[in-house]
Structure 1
Amino acid sequence: MLGVKVPKKEAEKIRKHLLELNVLNNNFKIKHQDEFVIFPIKKRVEGFEIIEITFEKAMKRPHSYREVVKIPSEVYPLLPSSFDIIGDIAIIELPEELIPYGKNIGEAILTVHKHIKAVFAKGSKIVGEYRVRELIHLAGENRTESIHRENGIRLKLDVAKVYFSPRLATERMRIFKKTQDGEIVFDMFAGVGPYSILLAKKAKLVFACDLNPWAIKYLEENKKLNKVENVIPILGDVRKVAGQIKADRVIMNLPKFAHQFLKEAMNSVKSGGVIHYYGFSHEKNLFKEHEKKIKEIAKELGREVKTIDQRKIRPYAPYQFNIAIDFIVF
């Protein structure tokens, strides 16, 4: 096989040049010989010392667990193309037909993604007041606590005891960029604090409420983890808190039930303040019904609203989307 022999001190420069010429053969390993480096090449190239030599085959690292998983061919098309990663824990949604092969799927994920230490399958839908789901251990360590990193903050949580979606990281950063220095923020359904801890970098105060005692426990830990002092965790029903706080910005991250808490949100926002409302909608009617409800509640309270942004955030189910509406309350 053909190789380009170059002195070690010139190796990196030559490697880049061979890449630019598209002659470097990445299917084979680069060879080291005394004070020289020998690059495998696809064809002869002028200006270099060319030799005939044997190269070892390079092992290609798989990009997806689907490339290495061992399951029957008839169920292979059912493999999900993606899964959630929370810290060093992977959570995958498997159809019933793939559950018997869960261990193989979990081990394939661990093989390809070296930073993942535990793999679970979703065992149920999100249920109950605490918005948690059953998890089925597939492979790796049998633990559900981890530290998740996003947007420059660290969040400690237990995926079996609290609700958390890593897929909203971009949305959380969007809200952070809109938040002004010195604001008072009310995070109505705070969880472990992905909004609260992040917004605390700009806000004067963040009131973070949640019904789940585990969420508040981890929120307290995340305050310390991120050295944040201006977050006020509140354990309890947001209905009992609403009205006692007057915020410049209110976060309503409870898409399934947020419409039931619009009165509480509007009672907690200053005139000219912003509410970030989240919901679920069919693709044929993304915003209309939500906006109708917002206006109805505003009229009931003798207030006015003005929509400043509407967004389709992510698919939630077939033909269903997680949506967001930002509006000012006067």
Structure 2
Amino acid sequence: MLGVKVPRRDAEKVRKKLIELGILATDLRVKHNGEFVIFPVKEKVEGFEIVEETFERAKRRPHSYREVVDIPSELRPLLPSSFDIIGDIAIIELPEELIPYGKNIGEAILKAHKHIKTVFAKRSKVSGEYRVRELIHLAGEKRTETIHRENGIRLKLDVAKVYFSPRLATERMRVFKKAKEGEVVFDMFAGVGPYSILLAKKVKTVFACDINPWAIKYLEENKKLNKVENIVPILGDVRKVAGQIKADRVIMNLPKFAHEFLKEAMISVKTGGVVHYYGFSHENNLFDEHLKKIKEVAKELGRDIKVLEKRKVRPYAPYQFNIAIDFVVF
């Protein structure tokens, strides 16, 4: 194989030149020989010392953990094609058949993704008053706290103590773009503040409520981390808070149970204010049942609504979607 031999002091300058000429063999490893560096090249090039040399293949970082994971071949079709990344922590959902190979899968994820430092598998569904799930440590550092970055903000959180979905970043930015300067926002199920922190960059005040003390603890930390002062964290049951706040915009990011809190949302929103409602639905009936419930509660309260937008946010389970309905309350 042909190589270009240069003094070590000139190596970086020559490397850039060879790349510019398109003749550097990037699939082979550069050799170091005393005070000289030898670059593998695809063809001869004038102006440099050309030598014959043997080069080793360069190690390439795999594009996917599935390229390097060590499991029986008959189980490979069961490997998930994706997983959640929260900060530098990966959380993957594994079928029962793959649990015994969890360590191998975790190590493969670390090998394929340089920025990931810890890998967990989901042991349970999100459940309980605090909306958290049990996790199984597979590989990497044994910690559950991280800092997640999205939409220009930083969110410190503990994946074992609070609920957080990185898959809603686009939805959070959508709501941010609809919000207006001077608004008062009521984030009914705020968590560590992914909506609240982002919106605080734009609106007048955000009242951020959550029943999980760990969520409020991290929300307080995230206020400082992002240098926003116009958030009022509220630890407690939103039922006891509703009505004491009159907001221009209400966020109901609790899709499994949001329908149970429609009254609380509607007594907290000003006339002409907007509610961002989230739910889960089967693909055969995405919005009808939710709209029926929204209209029923509005009628009970002597109010009326106007739907602004209905949309699928993301797939949630087979044939199931996380949906959003934006509506004005009069």
Q: Does the TM-score normalized on the shorter chain lie above 0.5?
A: yes
Q: Secondary structure at the match of 1:75?
A: helix
Residue number in structure 2 paired with 1:53? 52
Give the whole-Å Cα distance in 1 for the aligned partners of 2:30 and 2:199.
48
User: Partner residue of 1:85?
Assistant: 85
Deviations 1:56-95 (A, max 9, x none): 3211111111111111111111111111111221111110
Number of aligned residue pairs: give it.
324
Shift of 1:38: 4.1
Instruction: Indicate the residue corresponding to 2:210 in structure 1.
Output: 210
Helix, strand or coil for the counterpart of 1:281?
strand
Distance (Å, rounded) in 1 between the aligned partners of 2:14 and 2:139 = 45
The residue aligned with 1:259 is 259
| 8 Å Cα contact 1:83/1:90 also seen in 2 | yes
- TM-score, scaled to structure 2: 0.91
CA distance in 2 between partners of 1:235 and 1:318 (Å): 35
Taking structure 1 as the reference length, the TM-score comes to 0.91
The corresponding residue for 2:273 is 273
User: Identity rate of aligned residues, in percent?
Assistant: 77
Q: Distance in 2 between matches of 1:101 and 1:32?
A: 39
- Partners of 2:26 and 2:133 lie apart in 1 by 44
The Cα of 1:244 is off from its aligned counterpart by: 0.9
The CA distance in 1 between the partners of 2:18 and 2:88, in whole Å, is 38
SS of the counterpart of 1:327? strand
Q: Residue 12 of structure 1 corresponds to which residue in structure 2?
A: 16
Is 1:192 aligned to 2:196, yes or no? Answer: no
In structure 1, the partner of 2:41 is: 40
1:229-252 per-residue CA deviation (whole Å, 9 max, x = no partner) reads 111111111111111111011000
What's the Cα RMSD here?
2.2
Within 1, Cα distance between the matches of 2:170 and 2:52? 50
Q: Which runs of 5+ in 1 are unaligned?
A: none
Aligned counterparts of 1:326 and 1:206: Cα–Cα separation in 2: 18
- 1:73 partnered with 2:77: no
Shift of 1:187: 0.1
Query: Which residue is 1:219 aligned to?
Result: 219
CA contact (8 A) 2:2 2:44 kept: no
Given that residues 29 and 40 in structure 1 are in contact (C-alpha distance below 8 angstroms), is that contact kept between their aligned partners in structure 2?
A: no
| 3-state SS, counterpart of residue 164 of structure 2 | coil
**Relative to 1, partners in 2 of residues 1:36 and 1:144: Cα closer, same or farther, differing over 3 Å?**
closer
Q: Aligned equivalents of 1:270 and 1:328: distance in 2?
A: 9
Structure 1 residue 115 displacement after superposition? 2.1
List runs of 5+ in structure 2 lacking aligned partners: none
Mapped contact 1:310–1:326 kept (Cα < 8 A):
yes
1:321 corresponds to: 321
Paired letter, 1:146: T
Pick which of 144-153 and 159-168 moved more: 144-153
Output aligned runs, 1:101-250, within 5 Å. 101-250=101-250
